C-alpha cells in the first residue's frame, strides 16, 4: 500500500512540475541566469522559520530541507482553538487521542508515535524544554494559549533539539509587548458549564517592553465527575538598551485541578457516553516557571544567544482502578510528586556572505538538572502499598550545525549533536532497587534543498534520533515492570519533499518519510499465565514509521480561503516478539492507536470587513486499540467531526470590540478517539473487553472581548 501511495505522490509532483514547465532545463537556466533578483531569502516575500536551536537566525521555509508548519497567533485565533492541542489538531502528521476524559489532557504525538508509554515529541517554550523530565509527557494545559505568538512544528528528529524528539518538535514562542499599549478583557462561556475570563496587557515604555496575562477557566465537563478549574498567570519584560542587545525575563504560574473520567466499557459508552466507570480520579498541579534570555550581536557577523530557567512542578494525582479480582473492591492510588528543574542553553552563530555563497554556522551547548521525588500510596484487595523514591538526572549536550547557500539555488545543511544523560534512582523503601544509568549518543543530520524557481523547491534529508528510558521503565517498580538493562530507542529518518508558493494565491507542500527504529520499548508479560508479576518493559528489536503528508492552502481572493491537510501513516512492528505467553506480535502488525488516514479541510469566508465564518471537518480512519499489538481484535471505528465558528471584529473609539461563537461536533456524532482492551471485573465477570473514551458531543462556546489601545510613551 505504501509503495502505491509513494508512487502516486512522486507521479503527482512530476506531473505538476512538467505541466508548469519547472522541470524544463532551459527554464531552470533562465531562472538562474536571466533573472535580476537572486533566490536569496531577503529578496523574496516568504515565510520565515527558526534556523537554529535558539531563535537568533531565520530561514526561508522553502530553503529548509524538511517539513515545517507555522501557526501564528492570528491563525490560532481564527481557528477558535481553546487549548494548544486543538490549535495543533489538524496539522499533518498529528496523532491525537483522549485517554483521560477531559478537554485539557489530550495526547499529542507525531508521525506514528502515539504517546505510549512515553511521548516522542519534545515541546519547547521560548527555547526551554517543558516535557516532564521523569515521564516525558507534556502538560499542555500549563501553557497559556493567549500568550503564544507562534508555534513551529518540526516533524521527525532534528539533531539540534536532542533526545526524546523522534516524532518531532513543537517550538512555541511567547508574545512580547510591541506597538501600542493595550489592555484586553474577555468573557466567554458555553456548554458543559464552561466559563472563561481573561485579561492581558502589553506595550512599550521607551526601551522596555512588557506583557502580562491572567486567565481563569472552569468547566463541569462533558462526562460525569470531569470538572476542571484552571488559573494561569504570565508576565514578561524585555529590554533593548542598544541596537544588537536584547534581554527578557518571563514568569509563568499555573494552578489547576482536573478530574479525569477515564474509559468505559464499549457497550456502556454507546448507551451512556457521559458515565464514569471509576469516579474519583483527579490531578492537581502547581507550576512555577522562570526563564531568562539574552541576545547580543557581536561585530564580525557573530551573535550570542543564551537562556537560563528554573521550574518547579508540584503534582498530586488520585486514581481509582478496577479490583484485581472479580467481586473485589476498587483499587486506589495517590501519587505525590515534586519536580525541580534548572539549567540553560547557549549558542554562538556566525553568518558570512561572500558573493553568491552564504554560510550560517551555529555551535552551542545545553545543560539541565532534574530533581524529582515521588510518593505513591496504594490500596487494593492485597492491602496497602507504599512507594517513596527520589531521582536525579544530569543532562549535558553539545551541538553544531552549518547551513550553506550555494549560488542562490542550492542549500546544504549538516550538523550533529552529542547528548549525555546520567540517571540516579533511589528507592527510599527498598534500597535494593537503587540504580544508576548513563546514556550517551551522537545524532547527525544532513539535508539538501534545490530551488526549482524562486517560489518552489525540492529537498531530501537524513537524521537520527533517540529516546532514553524513563526512571519508571528502568527502576521504579523493582522487578515488576522495570528493567535496568533497557537500551535507548534509536531512529534513522529519511524524508523527501516538495514545497511551492503557487503564485500569490496558494501554497503546496508534500513530504514522504520513513523512520526505521531499533529497541522501541514495550511492556510485555511473557509468563503472566504462571506469574502475574512477570510483566516487564523490554526492547523490541525493529519497528518502523513511514507515510505521506500533504498540505494545500488556497486563497483565491480576499473573500475566502481553504486549507487541506492529508496524512497517510503506516506504523508497524518489523520483528516478531511475544507480548504475552499467548499473544504474538508478528512482522507487519500495526502499532495501536495510530489511524492510517487522517484528512482535515477548513474553509473560511469573509463576506464583509471584520466578519468571518468557517467550517472545519476532520476524518480519522480505524485504528487498533491499545493492548492489541498482535492486531487480533476489532478495531476502533473511524470517525468524522464537524466544527464551525463565526467571529466579528469592529473598531470602536479607543479600541477594538470582538465577538465569537463556536459550535463543536455540529453533527453530534458519538465517537471515540482512543481505547484499550482490558479485563472488566466490575460488570463483565473478568472478561476482556473494549474500553473506550467517548468524545464530547455537540456543544457551543461564545465570548466577547474589548481591547483598549493608546499610543506608546
Question: What per-residue confidence (pLDDT) applies to 596?
Answer: 97
Q: Among 664, 676, 659, 656, which residue's Cα sits nearest to residue 264?
A: 676
Cα–Cα–Cα angle for 210, 215, 219, nearest 5°? 165
Question: What per-residue confidence (pLDDT) applies to 382?
Answer: 63
The residues facing 122 across adjacent strands are 169
pLDDT tens digits, one per residue of 544-557 = 999 999 999 999 99
Contacts of 209 (CB under 8 A, 6+ apart): 176, 177, 178, 202, 203, 237, 238, 239, 240
d(CA 64, CA 412): 9
Terminal C-alpha separation, the chain: 62
Question: What per-residue confidence (pLDDT) applies to 527?
Answer: 60
- The answer to whether the CB of 682 falls within 8 A of the CB of 323 is yes
Dihedral of CA 45/47/51/54: which sign?
positive
Q: In this structure, what C-alpha cell is assigned to residue 317?
A: 494525582
Q: Among 142, 141, 129, 132, which residue's Cα sits nearest to residue 169?
A: 129
Question: What per-residue confidence (pLDDT) applies to 108?
Answer: 92
Please, what's the b/e burial string for 666-689 (b: 16 or more CB within 10 A of its CB; e: otherwise)?
beeeebbbbbbbbebbbeeeeeeb
Question: What per-residue confidence (pLDDT) applies to 16?
Answer: 39
Question: What per-residue confidence (pLDDT) applies to 711?
Answer: 61
pLDDT < 70 positions in the chain: 1-46, 380-383, 476-481, 526-534, 711-713
Question: What per-residue confidence (pLDDT) applies to 23?
Answer: 36
pLDDT tens digits, one per residue of 428-479 = 888 888 889 999 999 999 999 999 999 999 999 999 999 999 888 888 665 5
Label residue 478 left, alpha or beta by phi (over 0 means left) and psi (-120 to 50 means alpha): left
Q: In this structure, what C-alpha cell is assigned to residue 184?
A: 484586553
Label residue 522 left, alpha or beta by phi (over 0 means left) and psi (-120 to 50 means alpha): beta
The DSSP line for 134-197 is TT----GGGS-GGGEEEEEEEES--GGG-SS-SSEEEEEEE----SSEEEEEEEEEEGGGEEEE
Radius of gyration of the chain (CA): 26
- Cβ burial, residue 26 (10 Å; 0-12/13-18/19+): exposed
d(CA 419, CA 440): 6
18-20-24-28 Cα dihedral, nearest 10 degrees:
-140
Question: What per-residue confidence (pLDDT) applies to 650?
Answer: 93
Instruction: Name the 3-class secondary structure at 448.
Output: strand
- The answer to whether the CB of 293 falls within 8 A of the CB of 309 is no
Question: What per-residue confidence (pLDDT) applies to 15?
Answer: 40
Q: Among 147, 391, 142, 139, which residue's Cα sits nearest to residue 288?
A: 142
Q: In this structure, what C-alpha cell is assigned to residue 541?
A: 528489536
Q: Among 113, 222, 114, which residue's Cα sits nearest to residue 465?
A: 113
CATH number corresponding to 177-312+338-369+388-710: 2.40.170.20
Contacts of 292 (CB under 8 A, 6+ apart): 248, 249, 307, 308, 309
d(CA 384, CA 375): 13
d(CA 339, CA 370): 7
Contacts of 544 (CB under 8 A, 6+ apart): 514, 515, 516, 517, 570, 571, 572, 574
Characterize the bridge pairing of strands 264-265 and 245-259.
unpaired
- Cβ burial, residue 384 (10 Å; 0-12/13-18/19+): exposed
Dihedral of CA 69/72/77/82: which sign?
positive
Amino acid at each position: 500500500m505504501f509503495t502505491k501511495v509513494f508512487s502516486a505522490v512522486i507521479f503527482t509532483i512530476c506531473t505538476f512540475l512538467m505541466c508548469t514547465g519547472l522541470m524544463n532545463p532551459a527554464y531552470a537556466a533562465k531562472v538562474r541566469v536571466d533573472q535580476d533578483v537572486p533566490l536569496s531569502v531577503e529578496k523574496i516575500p516568504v515565510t520565515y522559520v527558526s534556523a537554529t536551536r535558539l531563535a537568533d537566525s531565520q530561514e526561508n521555509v522553502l530553503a529548509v530541507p524538511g517539513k515545517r508548519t507555522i501557526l501564528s497567533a492570528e491563525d490560532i485565533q481564527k481557528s477558535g482553538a481553546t487549548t494548544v492541542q486543538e490549535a495543533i489538531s489538524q496539522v499533518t502528521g498529528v496523532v491525537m487521542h483522549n485517554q483521560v476524559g477531559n478537554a485539557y489532557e489530550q495526547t499529542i504525538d507525531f508521525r506514528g508515535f502515539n504517546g505510549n508509554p512515553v511521548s516522542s515529541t519534545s515541546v519547547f517554550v521560548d527555547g526551554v524544554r517543558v516535557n516532564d523530565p521523569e515521564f516525558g509527557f507534556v502538560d499542555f494545559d500549563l501553557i497559556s494559549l493567549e500568550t503564544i505568538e507562534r508555534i513551529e512544528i518540526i516533524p521527525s528528529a532534528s539533531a539540534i533539539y536532542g533526545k526524546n524528539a523522534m516524532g518531532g518538535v513543537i517550538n512555541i514562542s511567547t508574545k512580547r509587548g510591541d506597538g501600542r499599549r493595550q489592555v484586553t478583557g474577555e468573557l466567554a462561556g458555553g456548554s458543559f458549564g464552561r466559563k472563561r475570563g481573561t485579561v492581558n496587557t502589553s506595550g512599550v515604555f521607551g526601551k522596555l517592553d512588557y506583557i502580562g496575562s491572567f486567565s481563569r477557566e472552569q468547566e463541569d465537563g462533558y462526562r460525569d465527575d470531569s470538572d476542571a478549574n484552571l488559573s494561569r498567570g504570565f508576565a514578561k519584560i524585555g529590554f533593548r538598551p542598544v541596537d544588537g542587545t536584547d534581554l527578557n525575563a518571563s514568569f509563568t504560574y499555573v494552578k489547576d485541578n482536573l478530574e479525569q473520567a477515564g474509559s468505559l466499557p464499549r457497550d456502556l459508552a454507546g448507551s451512556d457516553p457521559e458515565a464514569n466507570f471509576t469516579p474519583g480520579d483527579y490531578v492537581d498541579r502547581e507550576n512555577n516557571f522562570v526563564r531568562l534570555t539574552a541576545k547580543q550581536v557581536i561585530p564580525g557577523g557573530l551573535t550570542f544567544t543564551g537562556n537560563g530557567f528554573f521550574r518547579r512542578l508540584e503534582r498530586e494525582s488520585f486514581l481509582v482502578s478496577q479490583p484485581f479480582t472479580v467481586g473485589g473492591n476498587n483499587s486506589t492510588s495517590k501519587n505525590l510528586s515534586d519536580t525541580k528543574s534548572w539549567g540553560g542553553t547557549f549558542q554562538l552563530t556566525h553568518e558570512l556572505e561572500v558573493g553568491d555563497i552564504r554560510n550560517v554556522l551555529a555551535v552551542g551547548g545545553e545543560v539541565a538538572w532534574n530533581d524529582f521525588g515521588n510518593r505513591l500510596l496504594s490500596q487494593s484487595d492485597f492491602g496497602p502499598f507504599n512507594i517513596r523514591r527520589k531521582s536525579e538526572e544530569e543532562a549535558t549536550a553539545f551541538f553544531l550545525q552549518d547551513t550553506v547557500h550555494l549560488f542562490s539555488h542550492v542549500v546544504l545543511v549538516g550538523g550533529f549533536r552529542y547528548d549525555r544523560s546520567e540517571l540516579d534512582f533511589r528507592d527510599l523503601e527498598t534500597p535494593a532497587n537503587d540504580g544508576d544509568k548513563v546514556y550517551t549518543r551522537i545524532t547527525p543530520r544532513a539535508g539538501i534543498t534545490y530551488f526549482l524557481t524562486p517560489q518552489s523547491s525540492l529537498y531530501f534529508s537524513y537524521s537520527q534520533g533517540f529516546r532514553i528510558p524513563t526512571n519508571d521503565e528502568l527502576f521504579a517498580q523493582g522487578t515488576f515492570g522495570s528493567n535496568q538493562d533497557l537500551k535507548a530507542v534509536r531512529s534513522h529518518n529519511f524524508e523527501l519533499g516538495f514545497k511551492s508558493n503557487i503564485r500569490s494565491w496558494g501554497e503546496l507542500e508534500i513530504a514522504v518519510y520513513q523512520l526505521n527504529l531499533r529497541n522501541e520499548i514495550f511492556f510485555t508479560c511473557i509468563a503472566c499465565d504462571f506469574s502475574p508479576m512477570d510483566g516487564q518493559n523490554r526492547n523490541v528489536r525493529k519497528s518502523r514509521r513511514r507515510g505521506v503528508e500533504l498540505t494545500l492552502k488556497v486563497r483565491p481572493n480576499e473573500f475566502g480561503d481553504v486549507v487541506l491537510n492529508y496524512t497517510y501513516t503506516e506504523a508497524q512492528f518489523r520483528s516478531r516478539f511475544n507480548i504475552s505467553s499467548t499473544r504474538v506480535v508478528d512482522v507487519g502488525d500495526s502499532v495501536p492507536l495510530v489511524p492510517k488516514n487522517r484528512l482535515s479541510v477548513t474553509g473560511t469566508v469573509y463576506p464583509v470587513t471584520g466578519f468571518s465564518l468557517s467550517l472545519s471537518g476532520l476524518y480519522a480512519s480505524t485504528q487498533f486499540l491499545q493492548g492489541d499489538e498482535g492486531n487480533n481484535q476489532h478495531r476502533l471505528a473511524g470517525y468524522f467531526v464537524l466544527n464551525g465558528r463565526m467571529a466579528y471584529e469592529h473598531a470602536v473609539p479607543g479600541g477594538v470590540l470582538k465577538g465569537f461563537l463556536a459550535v463543536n461536533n455540529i453533527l453530534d456524532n458519538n465517537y471515540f478517539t482512543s481505547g484499550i482492551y482490558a479485563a472488566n471485573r466490575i460488570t463483565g465477570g473478568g472478561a476482556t473487553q473494549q474500553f473506550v473514551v467517548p468524545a464530547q458531543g455537540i456543544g457551543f462556546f461564545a465570548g466577547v472581548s474589548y481591547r483598549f489601545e493608546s499610543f506608546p510613551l
